[in-house]
Amino acid sequence: MAVADNVRSGLRARPRAITAVLSVIGYVLVGGALYGFIPLFPELSNSTVNLFSHIIAGINTLALTSLLAGVYFIKTDQVQKHRAAMLTAFTLILLFLVFYLWKTGGGFEKSIVAPDTVTLVYLVMLGIHIFLSVVAVPVVLYAAILGLTHTPEELRNTSHARVGRVAAVAWSVSLFLGIVTYFMLNHIYAWEVREATALLLLVVGPSLRRW
């Protein structure tokens, strides 16, 4: 209990610093998995990579559902249900991160095989999805840290509501577009195997086509 109280006090006292540290750790993990600098992940078979893609889509769907439920609950002043829904969404995103890093670090990425117009639409949606995923990390973490370390009454005197609105919009749009591009890549059009590359190239270059 004492350890938990100390951790909570530390988070409460320095939410911005903790958010910055955790955000950097998250970026390093994802970048390391994409570059192959972090050899922590066992190699996956092609069928397992495909299975992970489906699991990730399922996790993201549940996370989006929980997130939207949390937004509804806070708008209807159901604070405890809002808290539970947001913690569920946050937990699901951590689970997503485990599967995504393992899939990326131990498997391969995919390129969509579709008509040029469809490919362009896919790339735009995927680019927005990735950009919002990157942007959402610090705001989601900051809102979560404030929510976990303050009572509902105390939160009224913090930036939790304002940051939470930004986090909810960025997070929900990112999740939605991720689910749409998953269906396009895995169930509507064909795909081909490509080696993983840098996250930056995923955002700004031709490798946006990679999942």
User: What per-residue confidence (pLDDT) applies to 92?
Assistant: 97
Query: What distances in angstroms separate CA 47 from CA 53, 56, 75, 126, 172, one per listed residue?
Result: 10, 14, 42, 23, 29
pTM attached to this predicted model = 0.85
**Who's near 207: CB < 8 A, 6+ residues apart?**
194, 197, 201
User: What per-residue confidence (pLDDT) applies to 205?
Assistant: 41
The mean of the pLDDT values for the chain is 86
Q: Which domains does the chain have, with CATH numbers?
A: 2-209 (1.20.120)
Contact 152, 79 (CB under 8 A): yes
Which two tokens mark 44? 């996956």
Q: Who wins on pLDDT, 85 or 38?
A: 85
User: What per-residue confidence (pLDDT) applies to 196?
Assistant: 45
User: What per-residue confidence (pLDDT) applies to 197?
Assistant: 44
